[in-house]
Amino acid sequence: MPESNEIRSPGSCTAVVGLQWGDEGKGKVVDLLAEGHDATVRYNGGANAGHSVVVGGERYALHLIPSGILAKGKLAVVGNGVVVDPEKLIEEIEGLERRNVDVSGLVISNRAHVVLDYHKLEDALREDLLAAAKGKSTSGRDSGPGQIGTTRRGIGPAYAEKVNRATALRIGDLVNPDVVRERITLACGVKNAMLQGISGSYTPLNPIDIADRAIECGKRLSPRIRDTTYLLHDLLSEGKRLLFEGANATLLDVDHGTFPYVTSSSCAVSGIGPGTGVPPNRLSRIIGVAKAYSTRVGAGPMPTELFDAVGEGIRTRGREFGTTTGRPRRVGWLDLVALRYSVMINGVDEIALTLLDVLPGVERPRVCTAYRIGDAKTDRFIPDGATLANVEPVYHDLGPIEHGLAACRTFDDLPQNARAYIEFVERFVGAQVTIVGVGPGREQTLVRERR
Ligand code: IMP
């Protein structure tokens, strides 16, 4: 056998991934870690994500650009697994430039797929049709899941276009006007024929206008378009450190989440391979981010959901309103069955527990440790929307968390019941909490060494 001259390149990879239904505070964790890495990389999702970060008292809401852009002098890479709405991306770039953020390090994969107006239109139309169809079943049974409650950012239809292939457009195509016109004309032909059949009042898509706008975006974005797979491997060869930033979250993962109430991409760390071309054996540190309670936006089961004043209090104190859509988030107790599942799916070895400061004021905080389904009891998560909708949570009560957490600056500053809460989580899910969030500021993110 010929002797291999392949030596593993010296660079390293860290992943940050959401362990619940999104909005766990990943942006803040990425912001904390970005200084110690050379590039931040997005691998999935699109403008449905909303990462909010507070730096120097200023709040930034990012949707497509990796949160690491806020760290000076670093690369921010949008990988091939992301679906990019080019107009939204340009808007976001300009918004940051107006606030004097250096965006020169932003690079976009030539193989990321493009989200166009017709994807957003289709997203909204599908949601409206699903809502209208709900309850019209003639079989007497529930006619289907109804709306998914999407962000209407065209994410599902853009991923469907990618999988359908012939009419899809990639970011690298945008710099070639002939390809843009040809592909969009083809897509509009197919879509007009299909959509006219669905809705009589439908106004046909105009491919000329859509193509002109896409070509204009291509001109603006062209200096940033690269083969990011080679770029990332070149960086690893140079010994650089990459930070992968998961968008959306594990329980919204199209394969591992609460299907069909999920997004359309692989949000778990398993999405890094297909979404960037960096293989799984390069990951050396996987940090899962979870809130100290649960939230969810849109439809789908959430076993620990609260409908009372306790939930309302958590929503108000946690400012639980969507970064992307402004929708009030559904709020519930921390679901440890779900969390342990997400830790398992992602191979998480460290947890960042965020928003612990929202729990003081709750008289009797509880965590879910099992589900009851009829007479049976299980401590295993059920990644199926319909089945999970019928479980009853089994709770374990914990002591009231003390006020004043926002003033803590180290783990040792945390009072007794706050520590007991963290230790209970660690024991149940089998991973150490190394980061605790007690407020929006950088100084309110408490960090400790991994054991
Ligand atoms: P889509 O990703 O717009 O197709 O929406 C599918 C589901 O995922 C909906 O319930 C959305 O509310 C949810 N979702 C998508 N992205 C996020 C996110 O970043 N945070 C929270 N929920 C999300």
pLDDT of the residue at 221: 98
Does the annotation mark 51 as catalytic?
A: yes
Q: Which one is predicted more confidently, 335 or 7?
A: 335
Residue 335 — pLDDT band, cuts 50, 70, 90? Answer: very high
Average pLDDT of the segment spanning 346-363: 96
**Of 43-57, 113-127, 254-268, 405-419, the least confident:** 43-57
pLDDT of the residue at 131: 86
- Give tens-digit pLDDT for 199-221: 667 788 999 999 999 999 999 99
**Of 44-58, 124-138, 159-173, 376-390, the least confident:** 124-138
Q: Which one is predicted more confidently, 324 or 403?
A: 403
Across 308-347, the runs of DSSP E, i.e. the strands, are: 330-332, 334-335
Average pLDDT of the segment spanning 227-247: 97
Average pLDDT of the segment spanning 367-393: 97
**Of 48-52, 377-381, 382-386, the least confident:** 48-52
From residue 322, how far is each of 15, 283, 310, 318 by CA, in Å? 23, 30, 19, 11
Ligand 1 atom with the smallest distance to the CA of 156 is 4
Coil, strand or helix at 259: coil
Average pLDDT of the segment spanning 322-350: 93
Residue 140 — pLDDT band, cuts 50, 70, 90? Answer: very low
| Protein residue with its CA nearest to atom 20 in ligand 1 | 22
Residue 194 — pLDDT band, cuts 50, 70, 90? Answer: confident
- Give percent of the chain with pLDDT exceeding 90: 81
Q: What is the DSSP string of 364-433?
A: S-EEEEEEEETTEEE-S----HHHHTT-EEEEEE-PPPPS-GGG--SGGGS-HHHHHHHHHHHHHHTSEE
Q: How many CA atoms does the CB half-sphere of 8 hold within 13 Å?
A: 9
- Of the segments 115-129, 130-144, 249-263, which one has the largest average pLDDT value? 249-263
Residue 145 — pLDDT band, cuts 50, 70, 90? Answer: low
pLDDT of the residue at 325: 76
Ligand 1 midpoint to CA 321 (Å): 13
Strands 392-397 and 366-373: antiparallel
Ligand 1 midpoint to CA 298 (Å): 7
Average pLDDT of the segment spanning 261-273: 98
Who lines ligand 1 at CB under 6 A? Answer: 21-23, 48-50, 148-151, 153, 155-156, 247-248, 252, 263-264, 297-298
Ligand 1 midpoint to CA 346 (Å): 19
Residue 109 — pLDDT band, cuts 50, 70, 90? Answer: very high
Average pLDDT of the segment spanning 254-258: 98
Average pLDDT of the segment spanning 75-98: 97
Q: Which long-range contacts (CB under 8 A, 24 or more apart) does 268-271 make?
A: 268/17, 268/342, 268/345, 268/346, 269/15, 269/17, 269/244, 269/346, 269/347, 270/345, 270/346, 271/43, 271/44, 271/81, 271/246
Residue 107 — pLDDT band, cuts 50, 70, 90? Answer: very high
Ligand 1 midpoint to CA 262 (Å): 7
CA 267/CA 248 separation, integer angstroms: 6
pLDDT of the residue at 238: 96
Ligand 1 atom with the smallest distance to the CA of 300 is 10
Does the annotation mark 23 as catalytic?
A: yes
| Protein residue with its CA nearest to atom 10 in ligand 1 | 298
Q: Which one is predicted more confidently, 126 or 303?
A: 303
Residue 390 — pLDDT band, cuts 50, 70, 90? Answer: very high
Asked if residue 16 has pLDDT above 90, the reply is yes
pLDDT of the residue at 117: 94
Residue 144 — pLDDT band, cuts 50, 70, 90? Answer: very low
CA 77/CA 62 separation, integer angstroms: 14
Average per-residue pLDDT for the chain: 93
pLDDT of the residue at 2: 45
pLDDT of the residue at 85: 98
- Give percent of the chain with pLDDT exceeding 70: 95
Residue 257 — pLDDT band, cuts 50, 70, 90? Answer: very high
| Protein residue with its CA nearest to atom 9 in ligand 1 | 150
pLDDT of the residue at 369: 98
pLDDT of the residue at 6: 57
Nearest alpha-carbon partner for 121 in 89, 149, 145, 157: 157
Coil, strand or helix at 84: strand
